Every structure is written in C-alpha cells, then in structure tokens.
C-alpha cells in the first residue's frame, strides 16, 4: 500500500486569459467557438457543452501558440506563475473567477512498508515537514497572487468578471460532470469525492456565517452529488 502526504497547496488559479484579437470572455456565450488551452478533463467537457474548442497542450507551448494566433486564450496557473510565464505580454483580457480550479494540491506517496520501517521520530519529522511545506506554499501563493494582479494591471491587462447567470450555469455543469465521473469511476474516486462533499456540506454553515469575510462560495451541486453517491452505494 501507499501513504499520501500533502506538501503543497494553492488556492484559486487565475482563470482564462485571452488576446486582444479574441476579445474578453464576459459570459458563457463567449466560450463558443474559441480555442482555449486547458488540460483538465472536467474543464474540457464543460467547454465542449458550451460550444468551445478546448485544446490540451504543455504549458511551455502556450506563449508561442497565443502569439501566433493558434490559440484564442489559455489558462495555466496562479497569477504569480502566469506573470513569470510572460502572459501579460501576449494577452489583453483576464476572465475571472477561475470556476474550474479553486485549489491545487501537491503531494508525495510513500510505500507503506518503507514507512512502517521508519522510527516514530523520523515519521513525526517527515509529517511535520510536509505540513510546514503545505502551509508555506499556501500562504506564499496567496500573497504572491495579490502582488501579481497589480503587475498585470500596470501592464495593461483588463480584468473581466463573468456575470452571475454564467457562474450559475457553470456551477450546474460542474455538478453534472462530477456525478458523471463518479458513475464511471467506482472505488477510490468515489471514496475521495464523498469525503470532499461531506466536508463541504459540514463547512457550509460556517461559510455562510463568515460570508464575504471568509471563503464565501458554496457550490450548489453538493446536495446533488451527495444524493448521486448515495445511489451508487456510498453511504
């Protein structure tokens, strides 16, 4: 068996960036016909439902593809990383929020037999180091994102917010995809998904109480996903 340790995390990624020629993405109608780079299966499916033309390509090829006009836009990572990739030089519009990747996790898996051979002290040192690295990365990227926004604005980037109706539809499509994926992937996928949905359900009251002063968004699809998982035998 394996034991997983989280050692890195970021919160929301940037979202889609588009060129001056492409124009801004203000609503889901603007996804239609556009060639947008994204590697995520869920995002690809959702864009296809909206008439978009998602393209999967390595991050290192994005700059040249947009510069040549073979891509209308792209999403990559957090604002600070997007800045280092030079995207401010080739894009004009930044569509927010990032509805498809509100967080990222990086971890390491350790062989369980090898783990059990370690002393309790070494296990504690390793576990503590992973926790410290995860917290360090989370706080770094949160602060770095704020700094990067100012850099993009100074470079001439226009930030465009998706309208509420579009966000509602994207939320619904996200739920549809999650349920579809769960039906296709029994076992560990469903177990992890159930844990995530149970956490969101448990956390929603506190989220509502803190409102915009905390992490204020609760996906509307949580109840539907929980019901679907129950039908799949995940009590």
Domain boundaries, the chain: 2-162, 167-235
Identify the pLDDT of residue 187.
93
- The token pair that represents 85 in the structure block: 């990739």
Strands 73-74 and 17-18: antiparallel
Per-residue pLDDT tens over the stretch 65-88: 999 999 999 999 999 999 999 999
Burial of residue 187, with CB atoms counted within 10 A of its CB: 0-12 exposed, 13-18 middle, 19 or more buried? exposed
For 195, the 3-state DSSP assignment is helix
Residue 117's contacts (CB-CB under 8 Å, 6 or more residues apart) are: none
Identify the pLDDT of residue 211.
82
Identify the pLDDT of residue 24.
98
Identify the pLDDT of residue 109.
96
Which option is the CATH number for 2-162: 1.20.90.10, 3.40.190.170, 3.40.50.970, 3.40.50.300? Answer: 3.40.190.170
Per-residue pLDDT tens over the stretch 43-56: 999 999 999 999 99
Identify the pLDDT of residue 27.
98
- List residues bridging with 149 in a β-sheet: none
Identify the pLDDT of residue 122.
98
| Residue 213 host element (H or E) | none
Identify the pLDDT of residue 14.
97
**Taking the mean position of all CA atoms in its chain, how far away is CA 86?**
20
Residue 188's contacts (CB-CB under 8 Å, 6 or more residues apart) are: none
Let me know: does 137 contact 131? Beta carbons within 8 Å. Answer: no
Identify the pLDDT of residue 235.
82
Identify the pLDDT of residue 195.
96
Which residues of the chain have a pLDDT value below 70? none
HSE-CB at 112 with a 13 A cutoff on CA atoms is 3
């Amino acid at each position: 068996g394996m034991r997983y340790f989280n050692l890195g995390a970021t919160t929301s990624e940037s979202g889609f960036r588009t060129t001056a020629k492409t124009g801004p993405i203000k609503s889901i109608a603007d996804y239609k016909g556009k060639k947008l780079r994204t590697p995520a299966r869920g995002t690809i499916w959702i864009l296809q439902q909206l008439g978009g033309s998602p393209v999967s390509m390595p991050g290192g090829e994005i700059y040249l593809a947009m510069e040549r006009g073979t891509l209308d836009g792209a999403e990559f990572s957090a604002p600070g990383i997007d800045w280092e990739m030079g995207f401010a030089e080739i894009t004009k519009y930044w569509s927010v929020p990032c509805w498809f990747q509100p967080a990222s996790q990086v971890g390491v898996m350790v062989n369980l037999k090898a783990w059990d051979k370690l002393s309790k002290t070494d296990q504690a040192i390793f576990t503590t180091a992973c926790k410290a690295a995860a917290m360090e990365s989370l706080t770094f990227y949160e602060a770095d994102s704020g700094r990067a926004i100012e850099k993009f604005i100074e470079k001439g980037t226009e930030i465009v917010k998706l309208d509420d109706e579009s966000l509602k539809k994207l939320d619904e499509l996200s739920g549809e995809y999650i349920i579809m994926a769960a039906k296709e992937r029994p076992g560990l996928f469903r177990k992890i998904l159930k844990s995530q949905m149970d956490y969101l359900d448990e956390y929603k009251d506190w989220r509502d109480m803190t409102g915009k002063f905390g992490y204020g968004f609760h996906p509307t699809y949580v109840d539907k996903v929980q019901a679907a998982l129950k039908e799949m035998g995940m009590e």
